[in-house]
Each structure stands twice: as structure tokens, then as C-alpha cells.
Amino acid sequence: MNTPPSRARGAALALCALLSTALASTHAHAERPPARRARADLARRAPPPAPRVALEDRRRMALERFLRNDSIRSCWTRQLYRDPTTASRRLAVALSIDATGRITAVRVRDATAPALASCIMASGGRVAPVGPGEAFEADGALTLERGE
């Protein structure tokens, strides 16, 4: 059965048009965004509440973060440059933390090196907050040693 070439070409073109239409509709269907209702439901969900941390854990976290602060190390290094005969020491540190978890005040007493104490007290604002909760005070000891 021989078909004329013009008829075969027309059938081939019709088949190509049919296939391209079918592929285009399938492709468009696959890229359709999710239903609007599902997006609206997701937008209405509230984020989960932050876990409450016990007061003693917040005290411990605040002291650890403050004592590991790099600015305290730089204060000690500056003191050693200022006075190379400075001996190793242990300082009492008192922190005041507000309800947002930020350190609001640092108290350090060092009668032999007041510049060191004021530098350490100024470094409290550079510590990451410990999380919201009630305001509290935290006391600890800061050990500064010479690297001989």
C-alpha cells in the first residue's frame, strides 16, 4: 500500500503536532505549583515555642560563654604587654543578665590592675545571649595565667 508523499508528510506533521501538544500539557501539569490552600495552611502555623531552660543551666551557660570570650584573653594579653611582671591571678566575676538573656553588667575587682578589670567589665556586651527567661545574677571565678 503506497501513500502519496504529500499525504504521508501531512500525517507526519499532524502526528508531530499531536505529540507536542500532549507533551506540552503534561509538562505544564508537572510544573504546576502546589494548591494555594496548602500554602495558606503552612503560613498560619506558628513556630514551635523555644524550649524553657532551667535557671541554673542559664547561669552556667552565661558564665561559660563569658569566661570563654576572646575579648577577655585580649584584655589579659594587653595587661601583660603593659606590665610584663603581672602575676597569674584568679578574679571573682559577677554577671547581671536581663530577661532577654543578655549580659547587662559585669563586676570585677582587681586592686592591682584596674585597667585589666575595666577591660574585662567592658567585654560583657560581646557575649551571645543565653535565651529568654527571668533576670538573674551569676557569680564565678576567672583564672588568668601567664604562659611561661
State pLDDT tens for residues 116-136: 999 999 988 778 888 888 889
Is the per-residue pLDDT at 5 higher than 80?
Answer: no
Q: Which range, 6-15, 18-27, 118-127, has the best average confidence (pLDDT)?
A: 118-127
Domain-wise residue ranges, the chain: 55-144
What local confidence, expressed as pLDDT, does residue 100 receive?
A: 87
**pLDDT single digits (tens) 49-77:** 666 668 888 889 899 989 888 889 999 99
What's the whole-model pTM score? 0.59
User: Which is it for the CA torsion 34, 36, 39, 45, positive or negative?
Assistant: negative
What local confidence, expressed as pLDDT, does residue 133 receive?
A: 83
**Helices marked H in 4-53 — which ranges?**
5-30, 36-44
CA-based R_g, the chain, Å: 35
Fold of 55-144: TolA/TonB C-terminal domain (3.30.2420)
Q: Are 62 and 137 in contact (CB under 8 A)?
A: no
Is the per-residue pLDDT at 3 higher than 80?
Answer: no
What local confidence, expressed as pLDDT, does residue 130 receive?
A: 86
Instruction: Compute the distance between CA of residue 133 and CA of residue 54 in angstroms, rounded to an integer.
Output: 9
Instruction: Compute the distance between CA of residue 59 and CA of residue 101 in angstroms, rounded to an integer.
Output: 10
